[in-house]
Amino acid sequence: MRVKWKRSERVQIAVQKSGRLTDHSLALLKRCGLRLTRGAGQLLAVAENMPADVLLVRDDEIPGLVREGACDLGIVGLNVAEEQRLGLAAGDLAPRTVRSLDFGGCRLAMAYPREGSARCAAQLGGGRVATSYPRLTRKFLEEAGVEAEIIPFSGAVELAPRLGRADAICDLVSSGKTLAANQLDEGETVLESRAALLASPTEAPAARRELVDLLKRRIDAVMQARETKYIMLHAPREALRAIAELLPGSESPTIMALEGSKDRVALHAVCRESIFWETLEALKNAGASSILVLPVEKMLE
């Protein structure tokens, strides 16, 4: 393949190579218009249609790559970004979190063994907390005024209490199933997390700035479109006001005549929020029929 742009003009984007964020991150970039080619096992995916490359790396490497300027943008969990930010020396610039993305949701939370002596941080005094996030955990405990020993763990943190290595853990939770399976009860939330778009601490060099800004705008547009729905329905004219009020986050709807019907009309509207079954049922009760909810592929305002 012929690469049309100089290396210095190509925006470098760091993405997790294989893990929970990989599919969502690559799908987001593709929806932003990047046509990526990636051979099996390759660490670099080159965009064929614009000057951008995607580096596939371990998630823990992403904040460092962006901070050092080796990558202009990176997608990583806020949990990883914040843990590493706390480890920077005074005066070191951290990568900027420029967008909060709509996937990778989880929380860093304390958890306590069901049969243990401590059921919350206040009862931990002098105890041990196992975690892969020692800095965030220490900060939380300090702010709670609790003295405890941090036991750094790199994997399977939830086993630490059973192994007699800790009195509590601080780990990522999404459904809570792993905690329950290990007889742990979830406690205080230390950090609410989701995937974040990181950008280098200083502005991108002029040769790449335009594309970096364009990608940020397209990411906004993709997320906005994902939240947006197009709704179409038929309704009696006299119920229009009540129906318009039921539509979540919609501006003035379009009303169209229905051929052969005097008192029923068609209504089309763009809704900026999710439309739940309850809303559809309420619309129906208000007199609407033939209700269709369609996804929005792209939008630009």
Query: What is the binding site for ligand ATP (CB under 6 A)?
Result: 16, 19-21, 58-60, 77, 79-80, 104, 106, 172, 174, 193
106 makes contact, choosing from ligand ATP, Zn ion, none, with CB < 5 to 8 Å by partner type, with: ligand ATP
Establish if 213 lies at the interface with Zn ion (CB under 5 A): no
Nearer to ligand ATP, 27 or 122 (CB): 27
Cα separation, 129 vs 112, in Å, equals 9
Q: How far is the CB of 55 from ligand ATP (least distance, A)?
A: 13
49 makes contact, choosing from Zn ion, ligand ATP, none, with CB < 5 to 8 Å by partner type, with: none
Nearer to Zn ion, 119 or 135 (CB): 135
Cα separation, 214 vs 117, in Å, equals 53
3-state SS string over 192-235? Answer: EECEEEEECCCCCCHHHHHHHHHHHHHHHHHHHHHHCEEEEEEE
| 267 neighbors 233 (Cβ within 8 angstroms) | yes
Counted residue by residue, the chain has a size of 301
Q: How far is the CB of 31 from ligand ATP (least distance, A)?
A: 19
Among candidates 109, 118, 191, which has minimal Cα distance to 161?
Answer: 118
Find the binding residues for Zn ion in span 38-67 (CB under 5 A). Answer: 59-60
The residue nearest ligand ATP at its CB is 77
77 makes contact, choosing from ligand ATP, Zn ion, none, with CB < 5 to 8 Å by partner type, with: ligand ATP
180 membership: H or E segment, kind and range: helix 177-181
Nearer to Zn ion, 21 or 121 (CB): 21
Residue 59 phi/psi, 5-degree rounding, is -60, -35
Q: How far is the CB of 20 from Zn ion (least distance, A)?
A: 10
Sign of the torsion formed by the C-alpha atoms of 211, 214, 218 and 219: positive
Establish if 152 lies at the interface with Zn ion (CB under 5 A): no
**Where does this chain bind Zn ion (CB under 5 A)?**
59-60
